[in-house]
Amino acid sequence: MTVVNRQKVLVIDDERINLKIISDILREDADVVLAISGEQGIRKAIEYKPDLILLDVLMPGLDGYETMNRLRHDVRTSTIPVIFITALDDASHEEKALLMGACDYIQKPLNHNIVQARVRLHLQLTKQRKLLEQLANIDPLTALANRRRYEEFIVREWQTAIQHNECLSLLVLDIDNFKQYNDCYGHATGDKVLKRVATVLAGQIKPGEGLVARYGGEEFVVVLPRFSQQEAERIAKKCMLDIEELNLSYSHQGQTGQVTVSVGGVCVSPLVGDLVEDFFDKADSKLVEAKNSGKNKILWFHSHELDISVK
């Protein structure tokens, strides 16, 4: 799991002296990024993805409220917590800021300890929120992405593929004879098999290339954006080979064998109106066919319904 060591705070204020004062207060707790205007602040928020933004209300050009409004309406910045900083002591301004979604409101003149304490509190909350988000997306046994994360990822990649007219490949893999393995050696050993298979799958793609997730039970998915069928098949074959080479053998009711996987695959360039659910079903139906026709093989979905076993 990624551990964020040092958090980032973006300070947006039109007066250099304020930027200096605030960065001196925060330097101990975070990396500080400075912006001298609302426009520059929005650009830096997108570029640096800070954990927290301190935003001055009174600025020429884009004032704090308008800056906040734009940050909230951009998906790249909409969830970053914002603390307003202002010399205005009218309660209506504080109310307006909080209603716009500010997480806090600090008044000038700045008190060193108050600024530090509030920023520390919000950085801590941000850290906890990110950790919870990570945990909500991870399968605890294998540390792979879980089905929830897969479903978010595939919808996003599906939309991207439609937008840019790109192909998208999906592999659905299932460990063969896993029930026999569990019956033979117990669930603790079965869990070890799941972990080892997960490690093999995770090792097949580089970070940012795609997503490997545990779909449920002994079923896994590999999403490969912009991978042609040929490239995806190469990954699938490598997965099968590496899993066989783990040499996880079993012997059950007179049957002996090694742990293998069956794979169903699909590659499409989706069009507007195509359904992402059908995409999964196509790969999954090929997986079922692979299981029913001897296991330890890859079957690929073809739009013209000609399925070719490539093993």
Q: Which residue among 51, 56, 176, 233 contacts Mg ion (CB under 5 A)? A: 56
Nearer to Mg ion, 115 or 145 (CB): 115
Q: In this chain, which stretch among 54-62, 96-104, 199-207, 297-305 interacts with Mg ion, using CB under 5 A?
A: 54-62
As measured in angstroms, the least distance from the Cβ of 218 to Mg ion is: 59
202 binds Mg ion (CB under 5 A): no
Are 62 and 38 contacting, i.e. CB atoms less than 8 angstroms apart?
Answer: yes
Rounded Cα distance between 202 and 204, Å, is 6
User: Which residues touch 48 (CB under 8 Å, ≥6 apart)?
Assistant: 8, 10, 33
Q: Which residue among 12, 14, 119, 224 contacts Mg ion (CB under 5 A)? A: 14
As measured in angstroms, the least distance from the Cβ of 101 to Mg ion is: 20
Q: In this chain, which stretch among 41-49, 51-59, 148-156, 251-259 interacts with Mg ion, using CB under 5 A?
A: 51-59
As measured in angstroms, the least distance from the Cβ of 8 to Mg ion is: 22
Q: Which residue among 36, 37, 39, 58 contacts Mg ion (CB under 5 A)? A: 58
User: Which residues touch 54 (CB under 8 Å, ≥6 apart)?
Assistant: 9, 10, 11, 12, 13, 22, 82, 83, 85, 106, 119
Nearer to Mg ion, 14 or 284 (CB): 14
| Plot region of 310 (φ>0 → left; ψ -120 to 50 → alpha; else → beta) | alpha
User: Which residues touch 70 (CB under 8 Å, ≥6 apart)?
Assistant: 38, 42, 62
Grouping H, G, I as helix, E, B as strand and the rest as coil, residue 140 is coil
Which is nearest to 173 in space by CA: 12, 53, 299, 5? 299
Total of chain residues touching Mg ion, rule CB under 5 A: 4
Nearer to Mg ion, 56 or 139 (CB): 56
Site for Mg ion, rule CB under 5 A: 14, 56, 58-59
